[in-house]
Amino acid sequence: MVVGAGPAGTALALLLARAGVAVELVESQRRHSALIRGDGLMPSGLAALNRMGLDFLLTRLPRQELRGWSFLLEGRVLFSVAEPIGGSARCSLIDTPSLLEGMLEEALACPNLILRRGRAVKELLLEPEDTLAESGGPGRLAGVVLDDGTRLPAVLVVGCDGRGSTIRRLTGLELEEDNPPLEVLWFELENEAAAHLQPWIAGRFATLIGDAGSYALFGTARGGVRLGWLQERGAAGSPIPWPERWARSAPPELAALLRSLPTSSLGPPLRLTVRSGLAPHWQRPGLLLLGDAAHPMSPLRAQGLNMALRDALVAAELLLPVLHGDGPQPTATGLIGSSYGDPGATGSGQASPDPATEEIPGRRKRLQQLDQTLVAIAEARLPEIRAVQALQRQELGRGELLRRQPWLRRLLAATASVSGPLLSRRWQAGQPTLRTGLPLPEGPA
């Protein structure tokens, strides 16, 4: 049972179903386009898609490779770095909802996968006490109950339901957060407004910091422009129009373009709290957390999508040998067979073996092996997640220092010919991990 059809959940469900595992995928939203998604595909995410055999999906969706990164202070370019960096593949911007729909299409071609959209999990099912392994720990999860009362038993529940994970909350797994009191206001510019700014952006990801504030500016895979304005959480509004506020931190050419934007081109922004952290424990018997449910990623430097894909890859590669062990799989009664006739379910499904036919000692051993594998998955992923989040915190801290210290911004801007190259080298030193991640465990032959 995979809860959440974001990058981690959809990829995991596809990988397991493609290998013959009976899977149900539950998603509370009916359309991916209604959700906020990160669109930055790093070489680390691309490598994961390649290893999954899903890189062909990228040829079917809107995609724009980045040409470089620019950092501007007080309207002056501090430094720019061209893509690719360090010989790795280019970073690119993709249409993530299209990628998710492509993965779902591949998953639904598997006869043993069922998709339930528009249904949320409200409760968890536990194993009866007399069938639990003698671990002395909390009861083993045995499935979920949906908001319409449908009971869905499962041998394993994987929570991939995002930073506000219901599964994490219901299981009592704590999240250690390191959230700065910040939020990002995302503005989407399309059509004429986007075409107005694209010549200046020129395929770059630009970060601008000045007296008026700080923001990121970049083109989207579909030809639009996205602007993310960083501010303190709950900051009071300003009577100054947004284009004028942006222009005050921009170089003259961009400032003129921003000031000439038609007011009608700006809709209300999407407000996203900067929330990051790490669950010290991603698992309990019968449960695994992945993606933002286990480690909410800061929006800085586009890591959420990439870490989610890598979570799913490692989880699938470690789970499959256990699920394909000798004898019947330890699958909950009616995991797939109970879905026949449900109008909310998509996919044909195949009835799963009844664990009641398996002797209790053998079943306990199989479940113990599965739970040990969940611990191994978390241990395999934690080093990379910790490393990436530490680098994100460093970059965010440097940006906040510049945002709050006008004298430092002006000093660096005035000495850009000297300070720029030094800061560029320092910035690039942290890029290998943010771009390519740490080495993943070797997959199965």
Where do the structural domains in the chain lie, given as residue ranges? 2-65+93-178+275-397, 182-273
Q: Where does 2-65+93-178+275-397 sit in CATH, by number?
A: 3.50.50.60
Q: How far apart are CA 329 and CA 163, in angstroms?
A: 31
DSSP 174-224: --EE---SEEEEEEEE-HHHHHHHHHHHTTEEEEEEETTEEEEEEE-TTS-
Q: Which residues contact 17 (CB under 8 A, 6 or more apart)?
A: 23, 107, 110, 112, 113
CA distances from 252 to 75, 187, 200, 399 (A): 7, 21, 11, 22
What pLDDT does residue 317 have? 96
Q: Which residues contact 243 (CB under 8 A, 6 or more apart)?
A: 258, 259, 261, 263, 266
Residue 443 · residue 51 · CB < 8 Å: yes
Q: Strand 23-27 relative to strand 277-278: parallel, antiparallel, unpaired?
A: unpaired
DSSP 241-296: -HHHHHHTTS-HHHHHHHHTS-GGG--PPEEEE---EE-S--EETTEEE-GGGTSP
Q: How far apart are CA 224 and CA 219, in angstroms?
A: 6
Q: How far apart are CA 345 and CA 27, in angstroms?
A: 11
DSSP 376-407: HHHHHHHHHHHHHHHHHHHHHHHHHHHHH-HH
Amino acid letter for position 25: L
Residue 157 · residue 144 · CB < 8 Å: yes
Q: How far apart are CA 1 and CA 23, in angstroms?
A: 6
Report percent pLDDT > 90 for the chain. 63
Burial class of residue 81, CB neighbours in 10 A (0-12, 13-18, 19+):
middle
Query: How many Cα atoms sit within 13 Å of 312 on the Cβ side?
Result: 34
From 233, 180, 181, 384, select the one nearest 294 (Cα to Cα): 384
Task: Place 327 in a pLDDT band, splitting at 50, 70 and 90.
Answer: very low
Q: What is the spatial order of strands in the sheet that 63-65 belongs to?
A: 40-41, 92-94, 63-65
- Would you say residue 292 has pLDDT above 70? yes
Residue 61, token pair as written in the block: 């969706």
- Is the Cα dihedral 119, 123, 125, 126 positive or negative? positive
Residue 140 · residue 285 · CB < 8 Å: yes
Task: Quick: pLDDT tens for 176-228.
Answer: 988 778 888 999 888 888 888 999 999 999 999 998 889 999 999 989 999 99
What pLDDT does residue 326 have? 41
Mean of pLDDT values over 165-177: 92
Burial class of residue 432, CB neighbours in 10 A (0-12, 13-18, 19+):
middle
- Would you say residue 332 has pLDDT above 70? no
Task: Quick: pLDDT tens for 67-87.
Answer: 999 999 999 999 999 999 987
Q: Cis link prior to 84 (omega < 30° from 0)?
A: yes
Mean of pLDDT values over 121-150: 79
pTM, entire model: 0.89
Task: Quick: pLDDT tens for 15-30.
Answer: 999 999 999 999 998 8
From 61, 210, 149, 139, select the one nearest 338 (Cα to Cα): 149
The gap from C-alpha 371 to its chain's centroid, in whole angstroms, comes to 24
Residue 225, token pair as written in the block: 């422009």
Q: How far apart are CA 165 and CA 3, in angstroms?
A: 9
- Would you say residue 328 has pLDDT above 80? no
